Amino acid sequence: MKPIKMQEFFNPWCLIAIVLFSINNLYWKLDYPNWITGKLSDFAVCYFLPLYVSALLSLVVDWKLRQRLRVGVMLTALIFTLVKTSGYMSGQLNLLLSQITTAFGFGPSANIADPGDLIALPLIGIAYLYTIKKMESQHETALVVKYR
């Protein structure tokens, strides 16, 4: 069996972002409601979502990493911007997510349109650039090792 790589997603920074996202949503936002906890999840999601999308794409299409990441970046930026700037789009997202969450016995989803959250958008670019740089350096190292 061929091992699935998804190296863009399974890296420490991405996993840290996911852990922060989880802890913040589950505990910190409730325990310490302030600006930082209000934005932390947005920063985290902007970092790991493009990588997550890219990893998902790697399961279904045979694209190069760069292509997958670009799609992840564009999709994340588009969705994030829409749901954070438009009450309607945010409502539609909640409607969609609530159908899933309530089907599993949880409460409705309550994401909020807040244009101030767009401050986290640069993290999408950082995630892209960092991943590309890291992957390329790993690739070069691998080549050096291979041809030694």
Partner 1 sequence: MKQPWLLNTVKIATLFLVGALLIGHGTRSKTDKYEISWHELSTARLSFDLTAQTPERRFLVEVRSENYLPPHDGLPLWEERLAVQGVQGTTDPALIYVMTNTAAQERYHARSFYIQHVSRRRHYVMASAPRPPSENKYLPIVASCRQKTCTASSILTIRRAPEVKTAVQHISLEYIADLMGPPYCSNCKLERRPRKPGGAKISLRLTEM
Give the footprint of partner 1 on residues 21-50 (CB under 8 A).
21-22, 25, 29-31, 33-35, 37-38, 41, 45, 48-49
Measured torsion, CA atoms of residues 59, 63, 66, 71, in degrees rounded to the nearest 10: -70
CB 20 to partner 1: min, Å? 12
Contact between 109 and partner 1 (CB under 8 A)? yes
Nearest residue to 6 via CA among 71, 79, 81, 59 = 59
The residue type at 56: L
Contact between 11 and partner 1 (CB under 8 A)? no
Q: Which of 16, 61, 78, 87 binds partner 1 (CB under 8 A)?
A: 87
Interface with partner 1: number of residues (CB under 8 A): 45
Site string for partner 1, 129-148 (x = CB under 8 A): --------------------
Structure tokens at 107: 């409460």
Question: How many Å apart are CA 79 and CA 101, to the nearest integer?
Answer: 19
Contact between 100 and partner 1 (CB under 8 A)? yes
Cβ atoms of 50 and 24 within 8 Å: the answer is: no
Q: Judged by CB, which is closer to partner 1: 49, or 128? A: 49
Nearest residue to 73 via CA among 94, 38, 49, 91 = 49
Measured torsion, CA atoms of residues 142, 145, 146, 147, in degrees rounded to the nearest 10: 130
Which stretches of the chain bind partner 1, using CB under 8 A? 1-4, 6, 9-10, 18, 21-22, 25, 29-31, 33-35, 37-38, 41, 45, 48-49, 52, 55-56, 59, 87, 90-91, 94, 97, 100-102, 106-114, 116
